[in-house]
Structure 1
């Protein structure tokens, strides 16, 4: 073989290898683009240890799976890598937070937090979960590696919802019966500030840039805006009656607040802290979450057993999904049958729509969670299969094989 032939063969070899690498990169990219996050909706059932999760495919907006977790679920939070889900149990007498392994869809562990629990949030590193204990002044800190409580932070009376700053240095905890929000230093697990907000604060969310925290005050019908640098209230935004859930879009431009008694969602412009739209949804909206691209908002409606899907471009409901009885919160992630993981902020609500102080009389002693997460409803399985077959994305494997064949054909001609 002469030098010219060897050089030509070598160049063709390098070209082929380069092309294969590029096609593999395309395969990964297309595979990621083709995967959409799931919205999983927590429902309390009839207060008799029947809590469950409805898993919604956000492409087709259909329920593809329903899993029974038992107890009376309060809130759900996913680790950043999506491998574990932490579910609180607000039932009277319960002491456990359940840890679900998303690979097997089973309860991997139960963590005794010393009381029935409301809110939960996982830090950005995925190393700690923070859990508020109802009817107390405690926040339990869980080590997510050992799934054990490693610290307890004392805040004000009846801590409810929690939010973590993007850098993971601070936790904001609403105190429902104290009309305050506690600011926790995560390095020392101590309260570094207590902020006076509106009446009966419930949910809280922090902007993606970490500069503001928005607190929904259920009894004063407004939202307090906290400057996270000074930990002072810099604005108060009037919304609907009984504001409950708070969620912020990934761009940091809009806040979505559910109004329980108005059956609506208020949309706040973060730049001006003014309400720019009010969106009618189902009956008794509580939990709310924004998907990862900011194009859709999912709202669970407690009294109509539905989830409303809002198009953020038009601020109109584009789909209504039937879920299990008494849905109380919604979050995004890849809970079942997923390919990639989501970094969406989890914001929602967990308390039934009853009087905040007296609702304990209506709950039973829910101490158990089912060990095995069961799929129920054969029709929902078939829907999931059909949805996967009708995916609008071209198979990345087909693209790869086609392009590789083109390369080999070109080489053969040469």
Structure 2
């Protein structure tokens, strides 16, 4: 089993010449290999593995800082988090957390990392400036998936052993609510506007929809068998759910929480991620390449005092 995270649009600083060992600018996927104790780095331009990083024992979760500078990898058996510097794919720190770290998420400002410790019933809070654990929050039994709201104000933690989601307020790392969901919640994803959290319930075959304004379950959507991974499209219009036991992905329309499609994929789908659309290059403009397009004043109309 492997976990993957995409470092989308990772452009390394070009203020000074890069050393020979630096990773070229581009987009990379970081894949945690739980059996090997390594992380594979894939160049998405070529889909080739360009590096293999040795981390801790049984790595499973990966999260990248918003600036793409570091990848945080949870090592289940070691009870640690490996910190990979993406500019040269070197492990620059190893942080001891709780027992059985699984899910991991970074705040939108990149200042903190939240790690769900499955066997400890806690969440470790790592300050990224010095990779120090600055807080340990007691949540439910068997915390697994973690998601941070887009404004960074709250963290939602799926507790698979007691069928709840803990809501942590990040300003003081206090659990401010506990939401009962379906049987064996696994992963959680928050919509881009922060209005809803979608939680996969493995043995219920459902997804719970939590309204974040009052942390109420407003809908329960029946999907495939043993739903695990969940992701929301960048526009918030659809939610994709990987159903591990029947080899399918359910597509939920968020406007009415209806399954509008079921896609057959491979055997045992576990995780799911959605890439953001990339802007079109300027040369796609209709007038690009026309005579006079690049003359000095093209496209600039004189102002009222420039005629």
TM-score category, normalised to shorter length: 0.7 to 0.9
Matches within 5 A, 1:7-406: 37-45=27-35, 49-57=36-44, 59=45, 62-70=47-55, 71-91=57-77, 94-293=78-277
Using the alignment, how far apart are the partners of 1:54 and 1:83 within structure 2? 14
Aligned CA-pair RMSD: 2.3
Q: C-alpha distance in 1, partners of 2:282/2:54?
A: 33
1:66 shift after superposition: 4.0
**Normalising to structure 1: TM-score of the pair?**
0.60
Structure with the largest fraction of helix: 1
Larger strand percent: 2
2:30–2:39: 8 Å Cα contact kept in structure 1? no
Deviation at 1:123, TM superposition (A): 0.3
Change (3 A) 1:294 1:163: farther
Specify every segment of 5 or more residues in structure 1 that has no aligned partner in the other structure, as ranges: 1-34, 296-391, 408-414
Deviation at 1:287, TM superposition (A): 1.0
How many residue pairs align between the two structures?
262
The answer to whether the 8 Å contact 1:176/1:200 transfers is yes
Q: Take 1:43 and 1:280, find their aligned partners in 2: how far apart are those partners?
A: 24
Q: Which has the higher contact order (CA 8 A, sep 6+)?
A: 1
- Check conservation: 1:225, 1:236, Cα contact below 8 A: yes
**Does the CA-based 8 Å contact 1:42-1:54 persist in structure 2?**
no
Offset from partner CA, 1:171-200 (integer Å, 9 cap, x none): 000001010000000011110000000000
Whether the 8 Å contact between 1:249 and 1:294 is mirrored in structure 2 is no
Unpaired stretches in structure 2, ≥5 consecutive residues: 1-24, 297-307
Tell me the distance in 1 between the aligned counterparts of 2:223 and 2:26: 32
Question: What secondary structure, in the 3-state scheme, does the structure 2 residue paired with 1:285 have?
Answer: coil
Distance 2:220 2:32 in 1: 30
What's the secondary structure of 2:272's corresponding residue?
A: strand
> In structure 2, what is the Cα distance between the partners aligned to 1:273 and 1:234?
10
For the pair shown, the structure with the greater C-alpha radius of gyration is 1
Answer whether contact 2:40 2:49 (CA < 8 A) is retained.
Answer: no
> What is the rounded CA distance, in whole Å, between the counterparts of 1:42 and 1:279 in structure 2?
25
SS in 2 for 1:161: strand
The corresponding residue for 1:340 is none
Residue number in structure 2 paired with 1:364: none
